């Protein structure tokens, strides 16, 4: 009998599976074993749920070097980015109406900027260098008297290139401008210490580090002094910034996943870096590959490359039942347009249309990487032979 080929999942930048330990903790809440009452209710079961949330909030804050009351739970990084950009812009409109960001940001940042522009704000959108990172000096040069906020991601979701957030944080702090970091692709994976880095607002989603989908955070440093306008109204939850009944199981899942990621980080980073190195060496020995983005300032979790002469659509179609990988980012993969991120980096058309993204996880094994390489190389060969 014909046994089905197991699809190898190499699209962890889009989402990761929930870690078993995280799931166990979530099920404890969902099953009613503990903490399934409304955490805003004042009765005893409500207080139990509120205490569980308080513990999770404190755990998340401690991991990031923040205070518990600086952690605002959201549905994910998209909502956190919206709250950061629009919340700051709307609350500070009297002081200025200018924001600085980059052309390689996630759509949730760029679309917020576009929405603010329609409301009369001005946005300077900086292009990265060819290596895929934004020069801190270009940010300094873009700052104006009326600049309210700089928004720059930490790890780019398409190329994995790390942005110089420490330097940019200094630039923003010197100018007295708020600094927002979209850390969706780096939270959990890299240590982020807000005691050390003068970042004012930090966004992330739990499902990028083996937590559940539909929950994330906006960390607002000095929340009592940083004015943010709520985007939704209807309740006093989350200090009035994000109304609605808190999802205890999601929040527990987020904190459990972050704690687990932090505990494993020292071992996971070199292990995943080894998998990426192995992938590039093995595929590079089978096919010529062009890697996009600065290899020295890059997350080990993401690689973006093209095989000359092979379009990403053809490769992804060939691999549909064998290897799950990304073309550009998952959020824009329905579109035929090549990646605006790679275009902004000045990548030539041929390579642009061939760009695919593989993203690794701590759960991958070297044997799976070898198998993925074999399948990708074989698919590329089939396409090359067909084209002859
Ligand atoms: N920012 C970045 C850099 C991302 O990669 C993503 C997820 N693709 C988001 C924001 C949005 O995350 P979510 O869909 O979980 O809200």
In this structure, are 169 and 110 located in the same domain? Answer: yes
> Rounded to whole angstroms, what are the CA distances from 345 to 126, 158, 238?
11, 12, 38
The per-residue pLDDT for 338 is: 86
- List pocket residues of ligand 1, CB cut-off 6 Å: 76-78, 106, 108, 153, 157, 182, 184-185, 205, 207, 216, 329, 331
The per-residue pLDDT for 256 is: 98
Kindly tell me if the per-residue pLDDT of 257 is higher than 90.
yes
The per-residue pLDDT for 35 is: 85
Q: Whose CA is nearest to atom 8 of ligand 1?
A: 14
Kindly tell me if the per-residue pLDDT of 330 is higher than 50.
no
Residue-wise pLDDT tens digits, 288-306: 999 999 999 999 999 999 9
In this structure, are 212 and 357 located in the same domain? Answer: no
In this structure, are 12 and 24 located in the same domain? Answer: no
In this structure, are 293 and 224 located in the same domain? Answer: no
Q: Looking at the 3D structure of the chain, how many domains does it have?
A: 2
What domain range is 209 assigned to?
A: 20-260
Q: Report how far residue 261's alpha carbon sits from residue 253's, in angstroms, rounded to the nearest whole number.
A: 12
Confidence of residue 3 (pLDDT cuts 50, 70, 90): low
Residue 274 in domain: yes
At which of 260, 278, 305 does a domain end?
260
The SS3 call for residue 183 is coil
Q: Report how far residue 302's alpha carbon sits from residue 314's, in angstroms, rounded to the nearest whole number.
A: 21
Residue-wise pLDDT tens digits, 128-139: 999 999 999 999
Residue (of 198, 227, 207) closest to 361 by Cα position = 207
* Candidate list 113, 125, 298, 331, residue with the active-site label: 331
Residue 2 in domain: no
H or E element: which one contains 139?
helix 136-142
The per-residue pLDDT for 224 is: 82
> Rounded to whole angstroms, what are the CA distances from 107 to 28, 47, 182, 229?
35, 38, 11, 21
- What is the Å distance from ligand 1's center to 45 Cα? 34
Residue 3 in domain: no
In this structure, are 153 and 33 located in the same domain? Answer: yes
The per-residue pLDDT for 384 is: 93
Residue 171 in domain: yes
In this structure, are 250 and 306 located in the same domain? Answer: no
Residue 383 in domain: yes
* CA angle at 163 for the pair 161 and 166, rounded to the nearest 5°: 145
Contact 344, 352 (CB under 8 A): no
Q: Whose CA is nearest to atom 10 of ligand 1?
A: 77
Across the range 130-150, mean pLDDT stands at 98
Atom of ligand 1 nearest to the CA of 14: 8
Summary mean pLDDT of the chain: 95
In this structure, are 193 and 215 located in the same domain? Answer: yes
Mutate to test the pocket of ligand 1, among 79, 108, 216 (most ligand atoms within 8 A of CB): 108
- What is the Å distance from ligand 1's center to 4 Cα? 32
- What is the Å distance from ligand 1's center to 77 Cα? 5
- What is the Å distance from ligand 1's center to 125 Cα? 19
Atom of ligand 1 nearest to the CA of 155: 3
In this structure, are 228 and 317 located in the same domain? Answer: no
Across the range 71-81, mean pLDDT stands at 98
In this structure, are 82 and 150 located in the same domain? Answer: yes
In this structure, are 254 and 276 located in the same domain? Answer: no
Residue 245 in domain: yes
- What is the Å distance from ligand 1's center to 387 Cα? 36
At which of 200, 233, 260 does a domain end?
260
Is 331 considered catalytic here? yes
CATH number for the domain harbouring residue 343:
3.90.1150.10
Q: Report how far residue 357's alpha carbon sits from residue 317's, in angstroms, rounded to the nearest whole number.
A: 14
Indicate the angle between helix axes 107-118 and 77-91, nearest 10 degrees: 30
Across the range 266-294, mean pLDDT stands at 97
The per-residue pLDDT for 307 is: 96
DSSP state, 297? S
Residue 103 in domain: yes
Backbone angles phi, psi at 356, to 5 degrees: -130, 155
Across the range 319-333, mean pLDDT stands at 77
In this structure, are 235 and 316 located in the same domain? Answer: no
Residue (of 129, 105, 125, 103) closest to 297 by Cα position = 129
Confidence of residue 5 (pLDDT cuts 50, 70, 90): confident
At which of 209, 234, 260 does a domain end?
260
Mutate to test the pocket of ligand 1, among 14, 18, 77 (most ligand atoms within 8 A of CB): 77
Q: Which residues of 84-112 are buried (b: 16+ CB within 10 A; e: fewer)?
A: bbbbbbbebeeebbbbbbbebbbebbbeb
In this structure, are 146 and 283 located in the same domain? Answer: no
Residue 253 in domain: yes
In 147-226, beta strands by DSSP E: 147-153, 178-182, 201-205, 216-220
Kindly tell me if the per-residue pLDDT of 194 is higher than 70.
yes
CATH number for the domain harbouring residue 114:
3.40.640.10
Kindly tell me if the per-residue pLDDT of 95 is higher than 80.
yes
- What is the Å distance from ligand 1's center to 193 Cα? 21
Q: Cβ of 237: how many Cβ atoms within 10 Å?
A: 17
Mutate to test the pocket of ligand 1, among 74, 159, 184, 254 (most ligand atoms within 8 A of CB): 184
Across the range 160-166, mean pLDDT stands at 98
């Amino acid at each position: 009998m014909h046994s089905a080929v197991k699809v190898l999942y190499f699209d962890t930048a889009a989402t990761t599976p929930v870690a078993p330990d995280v799931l166990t903790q979530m099920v404890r809440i969902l099953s009613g074993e503990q903490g399934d009452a409304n955490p805003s209710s004042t009765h005893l079961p409500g207080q139990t749920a509120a205490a569980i949330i308080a513990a999770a909030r404190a755990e998340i804050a401690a991991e990031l070097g923040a205070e518990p009351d600086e952690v605002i739970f959201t549905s994910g990084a998209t909502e956190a980015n919206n709250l950061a950009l629009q919340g700051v812009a709307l609350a500070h409109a009297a002081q200025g109406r200018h924001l600085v960001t980059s052309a390689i940001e996630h759509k949730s940042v760029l679309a917020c900027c576009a929405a603010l522009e329609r409301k009369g704000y001005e946005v300077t959108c900086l292009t990265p260098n060819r290596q895929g990172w934004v020069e801190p000096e270009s940010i300094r040069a873009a700052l104006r008297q009326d600049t309210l906020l700089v928004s720059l991601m930490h790890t780019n979701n398409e190329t994995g290139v790390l942005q110089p957030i420490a330097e940019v944080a200094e630039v923003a702090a010197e100018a007295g401008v708020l600094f927002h970091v979209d850390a969706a692709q780096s939270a959990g994976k890299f240590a982020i210490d807000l005691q050390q880095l003068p970042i004012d607002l930090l966004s992330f989603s739990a499902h990028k580090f083996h937590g559940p989908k539909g929950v994330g955070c906006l960390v607002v440093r000095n929340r009592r002094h940083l004015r943010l306008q709520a985007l939704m109204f209807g309740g006093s939850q989350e200090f009035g910034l994000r109304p609605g009944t808190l999802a205890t199981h999601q929040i527990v899942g987020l904190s459990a996943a972050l704690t687990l990621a932090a505990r494993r980080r020292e071992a996971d980073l070199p292990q995943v870096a080894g998998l990426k190195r192995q992938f590039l060496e093995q595929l590079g020995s089978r096919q010529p590959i062009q890697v996009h983005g600065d290899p020295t300032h890059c997350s080990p979790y993401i690689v973006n490359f093209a095989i000359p002469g092979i379009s990403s659509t053809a490769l992804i179609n060939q691999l549909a039942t064998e290897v799950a990988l990304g073309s550009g980012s998952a959020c824009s993969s329905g579109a035929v347009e090549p990646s605006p991120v790679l275009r902004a980096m000045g990548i030539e058309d041929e390579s642009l249309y061939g760009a695919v993204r593989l993203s690794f996880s701590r759960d991958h094994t070297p044997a799976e990487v070898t198998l993925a390489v074999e399948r990708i190389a074989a698919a590329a060969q089939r396409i090359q032979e067909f084209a002859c």
